[in-house]
């Protein structure tokens, strides 16, 4: 896959995932895993500007792992690549709020807002309109976007 992305100059998303949840130190291990993925795709010819990182919320992680990753997203952003966050309707939101999947828009919004504060560039969501409004407001408050309606 990396070779195809390199050949066509396509962006590539490197999502953290493991076969198991055996972490020595969650964030350090995740960053090491992502750095290895970066090394592999760069060796295949993918340019830095085409690499996007995704911490893989919900993949090979417990609820507590996911919450820790959310608290420490800035450490992933510090790697210098755009960061994608895919928390929409995830199980850890349902666990914390005690709500079914179709009632997780507010929890998703909270994760997106925290993500934006911590350096996330891209979000993947199901409920586009309310989350886009939240993201626009966060960007305005953080001085990252337009502050008015046109």
Strands 122-123, 84-85: pairing kind = parallel
Name residues whose C-beta falls within 8 Å of residue 128's C-beta, 6 or more positions apart in sequence: none
Catalytic residues: 90, 124
Per DSSP, the three-state class of 80 is: coil
CB contact at 8 A, 72 and 31? no
83: which strand partners? Answer: 53
User: Would residue 18 be called left, alpha or beta, if left means φ above 0 and alpha means ψ between -120 and 50 degrees?
Assistant: beta
Copy the structure tokens of residue 41.
């795709």
């Amino acid at each position: 896959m990396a070779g195809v992305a390199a050949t066509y100059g396509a962006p590539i998303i490197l999502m953290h995932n493991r076969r198991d949840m055996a972490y020595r130190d969650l964030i350090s291990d995740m960053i090491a895993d992502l750095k290895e993925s970066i090394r592999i795709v760069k060796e295949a010819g993918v340019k830095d500007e085409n690499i996007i990182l995704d911490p893989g919320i919900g993949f090979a992680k417990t609820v507590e792992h996911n919450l820790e990753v959310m608290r420490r997203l800035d450490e992933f952003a510090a790697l210098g690549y755009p960061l994608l966050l895919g928390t929409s309707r995830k199980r850890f939101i349902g666990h914390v709020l005690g709500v079914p999947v179709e009632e997780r828009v507010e929890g998703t919004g909270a994760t997106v807002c925290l993500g934006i504060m911590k350096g996330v560039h891209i979000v993947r969501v199901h409920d586009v309109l309310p989350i886009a409004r939240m993201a626009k407001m966060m960007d305005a408050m953080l001085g990252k976007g337009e502050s008015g309606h046109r």
